[in-house]
Amino acid sequence: MKPKGLWIVLILIAAQRANAAEESPPLVYSVNLRSEAVNAGAMAGLVPNLIGKTYQKAHEQFLDALKQTSGNESPGTLRPLACAEGPCRRLIEQPAKADPGWLPALLSSESTHRARVATINIIFDGRFFQVPVTFIDARLDDSGKVVMENPMQISYIRTYSRSLHAEDIRTQRNDVPFEGKIGSREAQWHFWLGGSAPRLPAELNHSFELIAALLTARLSAGEGAQISSALANKKALPRVRDITGKDPACKVLHGAFPVVKDLGEYLWIAVPGDASKVGNSMFIEPRCGFDY
Instruction: For strands 114-124 and 27-35, give the pairing.
Output: parallel
Q: Is the separation of the CB atoms in 279 and 240 below 8 Å?
A: no
Per residue in 256-289, pLDDT tens?
999 999 999 999 999 988 777 777 899 999 999 9
Per residue in 80-133, pLDDT tens?
999 998 889 999 999 888 899 999 999 999 999 999 999 999 888 889 999 999
The answer, yes or no, to whether residue 44 has pLDDT greater than 80, is: no
For 243, the enclosing helix (H) or strand (E) is: helix 240-244
Average pLDDT over residues 228-248: 94
For 215, the enclosing helix (H) or strand (E) is: helix 199-219
Q: Is the separation of the CB atoms in 146 and 138 below 8 Å?
A: yes
Mean pLDDT, all residues of the chain: 83
Average pLDDT over residues 131-150: 96
Instruction: For strands 259-262 and 266-270, give the pairing.
Output: antiparallel
The answer, yes or no, to whether residue 21 has pLDDT greater than 90, is: no
Domain range list for the chain: 25-219
Q: How confident is the model at residue 23 (pLDDT cuts 50, 70, 90)?
A: confident
- C-alpha dihedral (27, 95, 278, 34), degrees to nearest 10: 110
- DSSP secondary structure of 160-189: --HHHHHHHHHHTSS-S---S-TTSHHHHH
Q: What pTM value is reported for the model?
A: 0.82
Torsion angles phi and psi, residue 172, rounded to 5: 60, 30
Share of the chain above pLDDT 90, in %: 62
Per residue in 47-87, pLDDT tens?
333 345 656 666 666 666 555 544 344 347 899 999 998 88
Overall size of the chain counted in residues:
292
Q: In what order do the strands lie in the sheet with 91-93?
A: 91-93, 27-35, 114-124, 128-140, 146-159, 282-286, 266-270, 259-262
Average pLDDT over residues 150-168: 96
